[in-house]
Amino acid sequence: MAQGGGSSRAEHSDLAVLTAAEMRQVENAAFARGLPSFEAMRRAGSAVAAEVMRRWPSGTLDTVTVLCGPGNNGGDGFIAAAALGAAGYPVRVQATSIAAPRSADAQAALTGWTGEVAALDPDALEALGARDLVIDALFGIGLTRLLDGAVLATVEAVNRSGAPVVAVDVPSGIDADTGLAPGAAIDADVTVTFGWAKRGHLLLPAAAHCGELVVADVGFTATDLAVIPIACFRNAPAFWRDAYPLPGTQDHKYRRGHVVVAGGAVMTGAARLAARAARRVGVGMMTLAVPPAAWAVYAADQAGAIVRPAADRDAVLALAADDRVTALLVGSGLEPVAETATLVRGAVALGKPLVVDGGGLTALALDGGLSRGGSWQGRPDLVLTPHEGEFARLFPEVAGQGGKLDRARAAAAASGCTIVLKGADTVIAGPDGRALMCDLAPATLATAGSGDVLAGAVAGLLGLHLAPLPAAAMAVWLHGEAARELGLGLIAEDLPDRLAQILTGVLAGDLGQKAANPGRSQ
C-alpha cells in the first residue's frame, strides 16, 4: 500500500465538488460529445421523481406540489411532475410565470405536463402539512441574487408549512458556489443534484438548507469532467485510504513513527487527549514533553506513552530534534503567550511535520502572525488547525471575505501551510490549491477537548508518514464518524478509542488482503 499523498485528481473524479460555472462547462462537454441536452433534463426530472417514490410510496401523500421556475430547473420540475402523475401521485404544479422566457428544453418539458399550471400561491402552500410534499424546482445553481416578490413569499410559506421538501439541484435561495444564503432560502429535507456535488451543498449556512444530499447520474462522465481542472473534492475514504501504511510483519515501533507532543502545566487534558488520539490512529511511539511540575499528572495517564520533563522551550526542542521523531504537535493546552510562539517557531525550524493547534495558533497571531520569522513558505507539512476565531486572528487579510472554502484556500496559498479550518463544515486546504470539503459533522463535537483529539489524530498520521493533505483529511473524517457513532452525551474522552474502531472498519478490506499476503512491511 502506497504511503504519502499519492492521489491524483483524475483518480478521484467521482469526489469532485464543482462551481456553477464548472458544471456548465462539464454539461457543454457532454452535449458536444453527443448527449442530448433534453435527455439530460429528462433524466434529471426522472431522478427527482424516483427519489420521491422511494421515500414516499404511492398512497402516503395527500398532495405533491411542484414549484417550477422559468429556467431549466423548472424544466426538471415539469418532468418530475409528469412522472409522478403517471405513477398515480396527486400532483399540482405552480409556476413563476408560464409566459416567462424558457429554454427550448424547459419549454419541451412544460409541454410534457398535461395538467394545470397555477400561479404561485403562498397561502395555499402555508396550509400544507406532513402528508403533503413540495418539490422545489424554482431556481438552480445559477441564482446569485436575493429572492423577492411572489417567489420570496412562496419560499417563506413553504418553510412555515411543515411539509417535507425535495429540492432540485439546490434549494432555491442559496449560493451554490460560496455556500452563503444571504436571504430567505428553501429548507429542504432532501436535495437531488446531478453529476457531482456543488460547493454550496457542503458549506454552511447553505448546507443546512439542503437536508440529505443525493447525487444522481444523468449521463455525465469522467471524460466530460476532464475539461476542467479539479481542485475541490468531497472528503471520503477513497481519497486517502491507500495512503495509510498498514502494519507489516517486520515493523517495529520506530518504523511506525514517533510523535512528540508539547504539554502544558495548566490544561493538561488537552495534550493527553491529543497524545491518545495520535496513538489510536497507529503511530508507534509517543513522547509527551511536559513541565516538570505536571510530570506526575501526565505519567499517570497513559502507560504506553513516554513522559519527559521539559522545563523550557529548549528542552522541548531538544527532545523533538531526535532523528527518530517523525512529527510534532505544539499548542494543545499551551498558553497563548510569547514563549509558546517562540516554541512554535523553533519547532518549524526543525523541518519536521508539525501540527499547530490551540494556544500555538493564538500565540502566533498575537506575535505577528505568520509574517514574522520561520520558514513557512513551501512547507505544506505544517498543518494549522484553527477554528473561525483563531483563523480571523491569524489571517485578518482574508477573514470575513467570501465563503469558507475561498478563505481557507487563500490562507493556505499565502502561508504555504496546510489549513484545517474547523467547524461543522470543516475545509482542508493545501497550498497547491487542492481542498477537501466535508459532509456536516455532528453538533455533538462542540465539546471541550474534541479539537485536541483532532489535532492529535493529524499528528499521528503525519508521524506515520502520510502526506499532509490526506493526513488531515483522514483525521477529520475519522473524527466526524467517531462522533456520529457515539451520539448524544459525547465527551472528548470518548473519541480517541473510537477512532481505532472506525479506522479498522474503513480499512477492513485492506487488512484482510494484508493478512492473506503478509509479505514485507510497506
Residue 351, domain CATH: 3.40.1190.20
Which residues contact residue 317 at a Cβ distance below 8 angstroms, ignoring those fewer than 6 apart? 343, 346, 347, 350
DSSP structure class, residue 253? T
Whether 26 and 94 map to the same domain: the answer is: yes
Domains held by the chain: number: 2
Neighbours of 255 (CB within 10 A): 18
The predicted pLDDT at position 10 comes to: 52
Whether 32 and 151 map to the same domain: the answer is: yes
Mark which of 212, 229, 246 sits at the end of a domain.
229
pTM of the complete model: 0.92
Helix (H), strand (E) at residue 346:
helix 338-349
Neighbours of 74 (CB within 10 A): 28
Whether 250 and 113 map to the same domain: the answer is: no
Whether 2 has a pLDDT exceeding 50, the answer reads: no
Note whether residue 319 is domain-resident: yes
CA distance 257 to 199: 36
Whether 31 and 51 map to the same domain: the answer is: yes
Note whether residue 5 is domain-resident: no
Whether 102 and 176 map to the same domain: the answer is: yes
CA distance 196 to 202: 12
Note whether residue 7 is domain-resident: no
DSSP 3-state percent helix, strand, coil across the chain (nearest 5): 45, 15, 40
Query: Is the torsion defined by CA of 368, 372, 373, 377 positive or negative?
Result: positive
Q: What is the mean pLDDT of the chain?
A: 92
Whether 201 and 260 map to the same domain: the answer is: no
pLDDT tens digits, one per residue of 440-454: 999 999 999 999 999
pLDDT range class, residue 253, cuts 50, 70, 90:
confident
Whether 253 and 186 map to the same domain: the answer is: no
The predicted pLDDT at position 279 comes to: 97
Whether 351 and 487 map to the same domain: the answer is: yes
Mean pLDDT of 430-436: 96
H, E, C per residue of 20-73: HHHHHHHHHHHHHCCCCHHHHHHHHHHHHHHHHHHHCCCCCCCEEEEEECCCHH
The DSSP code sequence of 268-280 is HHHHHHHHHHHHH
Note whether residue 202 is domain-resident: yes
Whether 6 has a pLDDT exceeding 50, the answer reads: no
pLDDT tens digits, one per residue of 372-414: 544 566 789 999 999 999 999 999 988 888 899 999 999 999 9
Burial class (CB within 10 angstroms; exposed 0-12, middle 13-18, buried 19+) of 330: buried
Mark which of 229, 263, 280 sits at the end of a domain.
229
The predicted pLDDT at position 237 comes to: 95
pLDDT tens digits, one per residue of 469-512: 999 999 999 999 999 999 999 999 999 999 999 999 999 866 55
High-pLDDT (> 90) share of the chain, %: 86
Whether 251 has a pLDDT exceeding 90, the answer reads: no
Residue 162, domain CATH: 3.40.50.10260
**Inter-CA distances, 368 with 61, 341, 363, 383, 419, Å:** 60, 10, 9, 18, 18
Whether 505 and 381 map to the same domain: the answer is: yes
Note whether residue 422 is domain-resident: yes
Query: Is the torsion defined by CA of 9, 14, 15, 16 positive or negative?
Result: positive
Using alpha carbons, select from 396, 389, 385, 361 the residue that is nearest to residue 468: 385
Whether 399 and 430 map to the same domain: the answer is: yes
CA distance 291 to 474: 31
Which residues contact residue 513 at a Cβ distance below 8 angstroms, ignoring those fewer than 6 apart? none
**Strand, helix or coil for residue 170:** coil
Mean pLDDT of 209-213: 97
Note whether residue 507 is domain-resident: yes
Mean pLDDT of 260-276: 96
Whether 348 has a pLDDT exceeding 90, the answer reads: yes
pLDDT tens digits, one per residue of 24-43: 999 999 999 999 999 999 99
Whether 63 has a pLDDT exceeding 80, the answer reads: yes
Note whether residue 125 is domain-resident: yes
Whether 59 and 166 map to the same domain: the answer is: yes
pLDDT tens digits, one per residue of 305-326: 999 999 999 999 999 999 999 9
The predicted pLDDT at position 46 comes to: 98
The predicted pLDDT at position 449 comes to: 97
Whether 182 and 258 map to the same domain: the answer is: no
Give residue 367's identity as a one-letter amino acid code.
Answer: D
Sheet holding 63-68, edge to edge: 117-119, 91-95, 63-68, 132-137, 165-168, 190-194, 212-216
Mark which of 173, 199, 229 sits at the end of a domain.
229
The predicted pLDDT at position 376 comes to: 67
Note whether residue 377 is domain-resident: yes
Sheet holding 258-262, edge to edge: 232-234, 435-437, 427-429, 418-421, 382-384, 354-356, 327-330, 258-262, 285-290, 306-309
CA distance 79 to 75: 6
CA distance 465 to 244: 9
Which residues contact residue 279 at a Cβ distance below 8 angstroms, ignoring those fewer than 6 apart? 286, 302, 304, 305, 460, 496
Whether 522 has a pLDDT exceeding 50, the answer reads: no
CA distance 374 to 127: 62
- Helix 450-463 crosses helix 468-486 at what angle (to 10 degrees)? 140
**For residue 286, what are the β-bridge partners?**
259
Domain enclosing residue 141, as ranges: 17-229
